[in-house]
Homo-oligomer: A and B are copies of this chain.
Amino acid sequence: MIRVALVQHAAHAERARVWERIEHALDEAARNGAQLVLLPELPLGAYFCQSEDQAAFAQAEPVPGPTSERLGALAARHGLVIVGSVFERRAAGLYHNTAIVLETDGRLAGCYRKMHIPDDPGFYEKYYFTPGDLGFVPITTSVGRLGVLVCWDQWYPEAARLMALAGADMLLYPTAIGYDPRDPAEEQARQKAAWELVQRGHAVANGLPVLVANRCGHEPDPTGATAGIAFWGGSFICGPQGEWLARGEAEPTVLMATLDRAHTERVRQTWPFLRDRRIDAYSDLLKRFRD
């Protein structure tokens, strides 16, 4: 059994205030018995990818670096495994959107560089982030093998499957997704439902628990060209049948759940999907399109 938590929070322009919020949330999670805490994507400030602004590169930092060190110290203080998210400066002109995993002793257990990079109005990530080159490899920790992926990866069954095939014990998605406030309410509802469906679908297809930490709150478009993004919160933890274990609304929150590895294994015995994969017939998955 493992007790997991995730933090859903709203951005704040002052980094010191963000750290206060993160420390407060980690305190709360630890007090409630958490062994593992997942933070949202790029939690240290506004979602800067709403525009293409060269000045934003100044926010990037190396890994290991100040954020991994500070989160490592918090992990050690509370005896937690922490999954965080950093705007990584790897070299001049080479940046990544990187998840970092801190061990209970404060050590950097590993990192994952976001593999699938989106680009659509308000989410200009291809400008900032080089696609990851570390592949889909779970990070081994004292609480299990963590299949850490990031945001846009959540739409890709391939990413979830590769983590499962590499022995991940759970899938974890730091994310930053929201509505365009100008979209009609029905379209907003369909988008949020689709986002839940596809990730709960990964839980089912792979017989794995899934943790998703999103940000919440409205952030204006710095260019003023659009209505900004209404980050929808809705962070959740589901079990290996996609069943709800914890589910946030639109406000900042700390969600907790208990994962039962023996239950997960029974689910995967009942529906042993990995047994019957037709690996002899999947080669076209490596094509862009079958035309």
- Residues on A facing B (Cβ under 8 Å): 115-118, 120, 131, 135-136, 152, 155-162, 165-167, 190-191, 193-194, 197-205, 241-243, 270-274, 276-279, 281-291
Number of chain copies forming the complex:
2
Q: Quick check: B286 and A283 within 8 Å, CB to CB? A: yes
User: Does more than half of chain A's interface fall in helix, strand or loop, or is it mixed?
Assistant: helix
Q: Quick check: B277 and A165 within 8 Å, CB to CB? A: no
Q: Which residues does chain B contribute within 8 Å of A156, judged by CB atoms?
A: 205, 273, 276-278
The listed residue with most B CB atoms (<10 A of its CB), out of A118, A131, A284, is A284
Distance from A159 Cβ to chain B, minimum over Cβ atoms (Å): 8
- Which residue in B159, B199, B201 is a CB contact (below 8 Å) of A202? B201
Q: Quick check: A241 and B193 within 8 Å, CB to CB? A: yes
Distance from A213 Cβ to chain B, minimum over Cβ atoms (Å): 20
Q: Quick check: B162 and A161 within 8 Å, CB to CB? A: no
Q: Which residues does chain B contribute within 8 Å of A205, judged by CB atoms?
A: 155-157, 198, 201
Known contacts A193-B243, A197-B204; 18 additional CB pairs below 8 A are A116-B276, A116-B278, A135-B281, A155-B204, A155-B273, A156-B277, A157-B157, A157-B158, A157-B161, A158-B161, A162-B282, A190-B241, A190-B243, A193-B242, A194-B242, A198-B242, A201-B205, A279-B285
Q: Quick check: B241 and A290 within 8 Å, CB to CB? A: no
C-alpha spacing A205/B160, complex, angstroms? 12
Distance from A112 Cβ to chain B, minimum over Cβ atoms (Å): 12
C-alpha spacing A197/B207, complex, angstroms? 13
Given contacts A201-B198, A282-B162, contact A155 B271 (CB under 8 A): yes
The 9 A-B residue pairs with the shortest CB-CB distance in the complex, in nearest-first order: A201-B201, A157-B157, A166-B290, A198-B204, A194-B241, A197-B242, A194-B204, A190-B241, A165-B290
Q: Quick check: A278 and B161 within 8 Å, CB to CB? A: no
C-alpha spacing A202/B243, complex, angstroms? 17
Q: Quick check: B279 and A287 within 8 Å, CB to CB? A: yes
- Which residue in B167, B201, B288 is a CB contact (below 8 Å) of A200? B201
